[in-house]
């Protein structure tokens, strides 16, 4: 079986952190059949910009970006944080999967990053163990997203207080219950693929579903009378 090759771009100003990402990804590659990684590293915004420009020109499709939010600004000040860099990467490499890592655990800061960047993974460094890092990479490669405990607690609190299922949510649940494929849902729901994934992620948070599969989500939605 041909392996799916990911370019893993490790962006952090601490070499030890980059090394831990690399070792975790190698372990994932040894565990998951059909996945391998090619590593690129950047220690600051300018190095990251240079690497991303090269990757964009090469037409790379599978790119897994490990992004530290606490990065110093680029020399020309066009990018002033890791968050800005992530938004720029999303535009340059729209098919990339971004794993955000931050030491911040402030609810407003986390919410702001989620709203602006919508990463495929969100790790709070105080929560992250070597085992969780491996689990995060595995989930993001196979079925994103993956959020650490601090992020999930924030989202569940907000979703239970502020979010109601609308017509699109109910239609999404129905289509999933009918076995409709993810690739077919954007045309049916008139959303982008990112929009569909975000809706499904929000539904799992509302129903307190931790499983990466849809089976538990649909089971709880049936019990609650949504499908």
Let me know whether 195 and 150 are in one domain.
no
- Percent of the chain surpassing pLDDT 90: 46
CA 70 – CA 14 distance, rounded (Å): 11
Q: Do 109 and 194 belong to one domain?
A: no
Residue pair 98/121 in contact (Cβ under 8 Å)? The answer is yes
pTM above 0.85, yes or no: no
Q: What band does 11 get if pLDDT is binned at 50, 70 and 90?
A: very high
Report the C-alpha dihedral over residues 8, 13, 14, 19, rounded to 10 degrees: 10
CATH of the domain at 200: 1.10.10
**Residue 118, φ and ψ in degrees, nearest 5:** 45, 60
Which of 30-44, 75-89, 97-111, 150-164 is the least confident region? Answer: 150-164
Final residue belonging to a domain, choices 156, 191, 214: 156
The dihedral through the CA atoms of 75, 77, 80, 82 has a sign that is negative
Identify whether 161 is part of a domain. no
Could you say which of 133, 156, 179 is where a domain stops? Answer: 156
Number of continuous H segments (helices) and E segments (strands) in the chain: 10, 6
Which of 52-61, 106-115, 127-136, 147-156 has the largest mean confidence?
A: 52-61
Q: Which of 214, 201, 121, 125 is nearest to 156 (CA)?
A: 201
- Residues 203 and 147 occupy one common structural domain: no
Task: Say if CB 147 and CB 122 are below 8 A apart.
Answer: yes
Domain residue limits at 69? 4-156
Same structural domain, 28 and 138: yes
Model pLDDT for residues 118-127, shown as the tens digit of each residue:
899 999 888 8
pLDDT in tens, 64-103: 999 998 888 888 878 878 888 999 999 999 999 999 998 8
Question: Is the alpha carbon torsion for 166, 169, 173, 176 positive or negative?
Answer: positive
- CATH (domain of 72): 3.40.50.2300
54 and 104 part of one domain: yes
Domain count, the chain: 2
| Tokens, residue 197 | 């994934």
35: phi then psi, degrees, rounded to nearest 5: -130, 135
Residues 111 and 24 in one domain: yes
Low-confidence winner among 6-20, 27-41, 100-114 (lowest mean pLDDT): 100-114
Assess whether 151 and 191 both reside in one domain: no
pLDDT classification of 106: cutoffs 50, 70, 90 = low
Between 71 and 46, residue with greater pLDDT: 46
Which residue from 92, 91, 149, 86 is spatially nearest to 120, judged by alpha carbons?
86
Treating both helix axes as pointing N-terminal to C-terminal, what angle do 82-92 and 107-117 enclose, rounded to 10 degrees?
Answer: 20
Quick one: average pLDDT of 151-164? 64
Residues 94 and 175 in one domain: no
- Assess whether pLDDT exceeds 80 at residue 171: yes
Within this chain, do residues 126 and 215 fall inside the same structural domain, yes or no?
A: no
Domain boundary, last residue among 156, 189, 209: 156
* Residues 107 and 207 both lie in one domain: no
3-class state of residue 37 by DSSP? strand
Q: Could you tell me the CA-to-CA distances from 124 to 101, 111, 127, 204 in Å, in that order?
A: 6, 13, 5, 20
Question: What is the rounded average pLDDT of the residues 10-32?
Answer: 94
Residue for token digits 């990466």? Answer: 212
Q: Same domain for 79 and 123?
A: yes
Q: Convert the pLDDT of each residue in 188-199 to its tens digit.
A: 999 999 989 989
| Residue 102 is assigned to a structural domain of this protein | yes
| 1 pLDDT above the threshold of 70 | no
Same domain, 182 and 152: no
Which pLDDT score, from 0 to 100, does residue 160 have? 46
């Amino acid at each position: 079986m041909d392996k799916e090759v990911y370019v893993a771009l490790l962006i952090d100003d601490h070499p030890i952190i980059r090394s831990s990402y690399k070792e975790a990804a190698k372990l994932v590659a040894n565990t998951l059949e059909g996945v391998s990684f090619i590593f690129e590293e950047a220690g600051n915004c300018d190095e990251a910009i240079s690497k991303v420009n090269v990757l964009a020109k090469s037409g790379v499709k599978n790119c897994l970006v490990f992004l530290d939010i606490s990065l110093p600004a680029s020399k020309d000040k066009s990018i002033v944080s890791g968050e800005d860099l992530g938004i720029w990467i999303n535009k340059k490499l729209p098919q990339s999967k971004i794993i955000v890592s931050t030491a911040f655990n402030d609810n407003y800061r986390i919410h702001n990053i989620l709203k602006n960047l919508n990463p495929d993974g969100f790790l709070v460094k105080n929560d992250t163990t070597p085992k969780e890092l491996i689990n995060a990479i595995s989930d993001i490669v196979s079925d994103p997203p993956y959020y650490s405990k601090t992020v999930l607690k924030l989202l569940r609190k907000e979703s239970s207080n502020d979010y109601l299922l609308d017509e699109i949510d109910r239609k999404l649940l129905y289509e999933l219950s009918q076995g409709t494929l993810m690739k077919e849902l954007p045309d049916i729901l008139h959303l982008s693929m990112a929009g569909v994934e975000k809706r499904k992620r929000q539904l799992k948070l509302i129903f307190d579903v931790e499983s990466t599969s849809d089976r538990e989500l649909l089971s709880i939605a049936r019990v609650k009378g949504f499908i």
